[in-house]
């Protein structure tokens, strides 16, 4: 499930389709590695180790192709990435939109706890 350089175009296609606003992209500075599940049609699900610190692994670029949503592939790739990051850093986290209830449910079934984050931008 760890991605290889050959998987990068497939991951980019998946992100373009399922998560076009993703800040994590293959080859981007701070994005250390990817996990991917492939099927006959390309990348089905992916997650990245993106901008982790020594004490906290950070997941980013989490995407699941619409054709496989509800099959458990998204949960599988996140579970593997999460376990790896926790083993390496002692803790892991990610950012998820407050209204993305489906994703939040998946993360909570993997043992994560949702915490609301408030942010502000000043001009």
Q: Rounded to 5 degrees, what angle do the CA atoms 84, 41, 45 make?
A: 25
What's the pLDDT tens digit per position in 43-65? Answer: 999 999 999 999 999 999 999 99
**Reduced DSSP (H G I as helix, E B as strand, rest coil) percent helix, strand, coil of the chain, to 5:** 35, 25, 40
Q: 59 versus 122: which is more confidently predicted?
A: 59
CATH of 5-109, one of 3.40.630.30, 3.30.420.40, 3.30.930.10, 3.30.465.10: 3.40.630.30
Structure pTM? 0.91
75 close to 109: Cβ distance less than 8 angstroms: yes
What's the pLDDT tens digit per position in 61-116? Answer: 999 999 999 999 999 999 999 999 999 999 999 999 889 999 999 999 999 999 98
Distance CA 33, CA 96 (A): 20
Q: What's the pLDDT score for residue 120?
A: 72
Structural tokens at position 71 = 């099959």
Checking if the pLDDT of 119 tops 90, the result is: no
Please report, for the chain, the start and end positions of each structural domain, with discontinuous segments joined by +: 5-109
Q: What's the pLDDT score for residue 121?
A: 73
Query: What contacts 121, CB < 8 A, 6 or more positions away?
Result: none
Phi/psi of residue 118, each to 5°? Answer: -100, 140
Phi-psi map region of 27: left, alpha, beta (phi>0 left; psi -120 to 50 alpha)? left
pLDDT band with cut points at 50, 70 and 90 for residue 118 = confident
Q: What's the pLDDT score for residue 59?
A: 97
């Amino acid at each position: 499930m760890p991605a290889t350089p050959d998987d990068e175009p497939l991951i980019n296609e998946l992100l373009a389709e399922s998560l076009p606003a993703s800040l994590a992209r293959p080859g981007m500075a701070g994005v250390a590695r990817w996990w991917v599940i492939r099927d006959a049609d390309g990348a089905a699900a992916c997650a990245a180790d993106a901008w982790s610190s020594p004490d906290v692994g950070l997941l980013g670029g989490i995407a699941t192709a619409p054709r496989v949503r509800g099959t458990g592939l998204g949960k599988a790739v996140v579970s593997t990435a999460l376990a790896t990051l926790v083993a390496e850093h002692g803790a892991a986290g990610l950012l998820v939109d407050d209204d993305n209830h489906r994703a939040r449910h998946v993360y909570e079934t993997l043992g994560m706890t949702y915490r609301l984050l408030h942010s502000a931008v000043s001009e």
